[in-house]
Amino acid sequence: MELEFIRDMFDGIARRYDLLNRLLSLRQDVHWRRKMVSALNLSQNDAVLDVACGTGDVIIEILKQCNCIQQVVGVDFSLRMLQIARKKLTAVRKGGAVRLIAGNGLHLPFPEKSFTAVTIAFGIRNIVDRKTAIRVFFDCLKPGGILAVLELTTPENRYLQSLYLLYFKRLLPKIGAFFSKHLKAYSYLPESVIGFPGAREFAGIMKEAGFKNIQWRHLTLGAATLFVGYKPTESIAQ
Ligand X SMILES: C[S@@+](CC[C@H](N)C(=O)[O-])C[C@H]1O[C@@H](n2cnc3c(N)ncnc32)[C@H](O)[C@@H]1O
CA distances from 156 to 93, 150, 194, 224 (A): 40, 17, 12, 11
Per-residue contact string for residues 15-34; x = within reach of ligand X by CB under 6 A: ------------------x-
Q: Beta-carbon neighbour count of residue 94 at 10 Å?
A: 8
- The residue range among 70-78, 109-117, 161-169, 205-213 that interacts with ligand X, by the rule CB under 6 A, is 70-78
Applying CB under 6 A, among 62, 121, 147, 219 the residue interacting with ligand X is 121
Environment class of 88 (CB within 10 Å of its CB; exposed 0-12, middle 13-18, buried 19+)? middle
77 binds ligand X (CB under 6 A): yes
- The residue range among 77-85, 139-147, 196-204, 216-224 that interacts with ligand X, by the rule CB under 6 A, is 77-85
54 binds ligand X (CB under 6 A): yes
48 binds ligand X (CB under 6 A): no
Applying CB under 6 A, among 25, 126, 180, 225 the residue interacting with ligand X is 126
* Total interface residues for ligand X by CB under 6 A: 22
Q: Considering only residues 161-220, where is the footprint of ligand X by CB under 6 A?
A: none
Cα–Cα–Cα angle for 121, 127, 128, rounded to 5 degrees: 145
6 binds ligand X (CB under 6 A): yes
145 binds ligand X (CB under 6 A): no
Q: Which is nearer to ligand X, 102 or 237 (CB)?
A: 102
Q: Which is nearer to ligand X, 58 or 63 (CB)?
A: 58
What is the Cα–Cα distance from 172 to 58, expressed in whole angstroms?
A: 23
Q: Beta-carbon neighbour count of residue 233 at 10 Å?
A: 13
What is the Cα–Cα distance from 162 to 200, expressed in whole angstroms?
A: 21
Applying CB under 6 A, among 71, 104, 187, 192 the residue interacting with ligand X is 104
Environment class of 222 (CB within 10 Å of its CB; exposed 0-12, middle 13-18, buried 19+)? middle
Cα torsion at 17, 35, 215, 217 (round to 10°)?
-80
Contacts with ligand X, residue ranges (CB under 6 A): 3, 6-7, 10, 33, 52-54, 57-58, 76-78, 81, 104-106, 121-123, 126-127
